[in-house]
Amino acid sequence: MSSTLFDLTGEAAVVIGGTGVLGGGMASALAAAGAAVAVVGRSAERGAERVRAIDEAGGHAVFIHGDVSDRKSLDDALKKITAELGAPTVLINAAGGNRPDATLPPGAKFSALPLEAWQNVFDLNLIGGALLPCQVFGEAMLSGGKGSIINVASMAGMIPLSRVVAYSAAKAAVINLTKFLAREWATSGIRVNAISPGFFPAEQNKALLYKEDGTYSDRGAQIIGHTPMARFGNADELAGAVVWLASSKASSFVTGQNIVIDGGFSSVTI
């Protein structure tokens, strides 16, 4: 039994945001476990790079263009994926991000935060990062009576980290939506869970964590000092949790959960 517990052969997995560092790592992990993977994103160049890496490692993947802010784009992506890989049975929602004008700099007033910036970040991470994909791909899974949805939340959604106020609020909403959908679809064969990564260096936060010379920034050093493992996470360290939640054999009774992967950050009292 243990040899097949995490075998995803026969599964069609969709990784929205699979062109990014963390989403791409999840796509590779699912492919290595045997799933046929659709890497969904807006960058054909980065999508092709990820697909090539998966294929060279012995997996099977395709790139499908998709814009999480556009319902029609996601509907079209679903049709293409179903035609190429079959009906999706695993969905990873890894799209999201932040922007500088939705982040409060030191000494800034919350009341001066631009509404347009807030709405942009909130919509990207909640509506595009979870709601619309769950509506589109979740409906397809309901038709098949089987599926595992994994929303990528954040440590910021659990703890109101300073500065990234709009991002934190959106990720908190993702966790709440995850629990709602888990309850809503529990008897329909669909499991819905979230993972909350701690601090994983990627394109959008690298400048926050490191100086140009490669040493820790003040913020990066503060985070490391608060993390019991005394380091940042690596993208491949999300793989185990993702494959576990994707596997109907390994996590058949797990739904509505938020799995924290943070090197112990959240275990330390602030």
Give the residue from 170, 162, 229 showing the smallest Cα distance to 200.
229
| Residue 216 DSSP one-character state | B
Strand positions, DSSP E, 154-229:
190-197
Name all domains of the chain by residue range, CATH numbers in brackets: 12-198+236-258 (3.40.50.720), 203-232 (no CATH)
For residue range 178-190, list pLDDT tens digits in order: 999 999 999 999 9
Q: Which residue has the higher pLDDT, 96 or 208?
A: 96
> What count of Cα atoms within 13 Å lies in the side-chain half-sphere of residue 134?
28
What's the pLDDT score for residue 104?
87
Q: What percent of the chain has pLDDT over 70?
A: 98
pLDDT computed for residue 85 by the predictor: 98
Residue 12 to residues 33, 39, 71: CA-CA distances in angstroms? Answer: 12, 11, 21
Task: Please report which confidence band the pLDDT of residue 197 belongs to, taking 50, 70 and 90 as the band edges.
Answer: very high
Contact partners, residue 132, CB within 8 Å, separation at least 6:
68, 69, 71, 74
List, edge to edge, every strand of the sheet that includes 36-41. Answer: 60-65, 36-41, 12-16, 90-93, 147-152, 190-197, 258-261
Q: What is the pLDDT of residue 2?
A: 56
Q: Following DSSP, what letter does each residue of 233-268 receive, concatenated? A: --GGGGHHHHHHHH-TTTSTT--S-EEEESTTGGGS
**Number of Cβ within a 10 Å radius of residue 92:** 30
What pLDDT digit, counting tens, does each position of 201-244 carry? 877 777 778 888 989 888 889 889 999 999 999 999 999 999 99
The rounded mean pLDDT for the chain is 94
Residues carrying an active site annotation: 167
